[in-house]
Amino acid sequence: MWIFLVTEVLFFGGMFLTYTINRHEYFTAFGIGSNTLDIKLGTINTAVLILSSLTMAMAVWSAQVGKKQLVTGFLIATLVLGSVFLGIKVVEYKQKFDHHLIPGRGFDVWYLVDNSKPQTEIEKKHLDDEREELHKATLVDPDIQSHAQLYFSLYFAMTGLHALHMIVGAGLLIWLIKVSLRGRFTPRYNTPVEIVGLYWHFVDIVWIYLFPLLYLIDRHR
């Protein structure tokens, strides 16, 4: 399993490399793109995923000490938390569709600023700040529309690949839950739980890096 994870490290490593080069070259556009992400949802999702790693680790422990019912319980908890993560991700993706931030013909970084109808004074001020931000960014990088699309292409490729790994992990968990319901995992035989655990924690690690790299590029302005 570890050897497989090594290949996965290099697989994701290629994406992180592409990201690094483009971020270095188009820092301003990447900052603009990053600031459109919902930091609350991102932070909640990070916490959800870390908690799911804890329940996964607890499932391994339960199997090692022979608490069969706890194994099933912790595996189900992990599956539920993984699904919550994916659900929140769907909400985030939906927002990007609504805000015309999907790379392609309809892409427009100005869409939100031009089409929002602020209700309160605070919202209005917030929107004015964003408009000024975009104007400044355009002065630095005249082709911000294309370069912001690069950011969103990488955002969807990286979070999408990560989500795909989560879906595979969820499938493995369903299989583990079925086996564990038959009481198969014991202190003598628990390698499948251990191995799926390694995979699950690896996917968690990928997110630990994705979160600051995608959500927190340029927040301090």
The distance of closest approach from Cβ of residue 90 to other proteins in the complex, given in angstroms and rounded to an integer, is: 21
Q: Which residues contact 138 (CB under 8 A, 6 or more apart)?
A: 144
DSSP for 107-151 reads --TTHHHHH----SHHHHHHHHHHHHHHHHHHHH-TTHHHHHHHH
Q: Nearest distance from residue 117's CB to other proteins, in Å? A: 27
Q: Helix, strand, or coil here: 66?
A: coil
Stretch binding other proteins (CB under 8 A), from 106-114, 115-123, 157-165, 204-212: 204-212
Look up residue 82 and give its amino acid. Answer: G
29 φ/ψ angles, rounded to the nearest 5 degrees: -65, -40
- CA distances for 168 relative to 36, 58, 173, 210, angstroms: 28, 20, 9, 19
Under rule CB under 8 A, residue 214 binds other proteins: no
Q: Which is nearer to other proteins, 6 or 91 (CB)?
A: 6
Nearer to other proteins, 105 or 149 (CB): 149
Where on the chain is the footprint of other proteins (CB under 8 A)? 1-3, 5-6, 9-10, 13-14, 16-17, 20-21, 24-29, 31, 39, 43, 46-47, 50-51, 53-54, 56-58, 60-61, 63-65, 136-137, 139-141, 147, 188-191, 193-195, 197-198, 201-202, 204-205, 208-209, 211-213, 215-216, 218-221
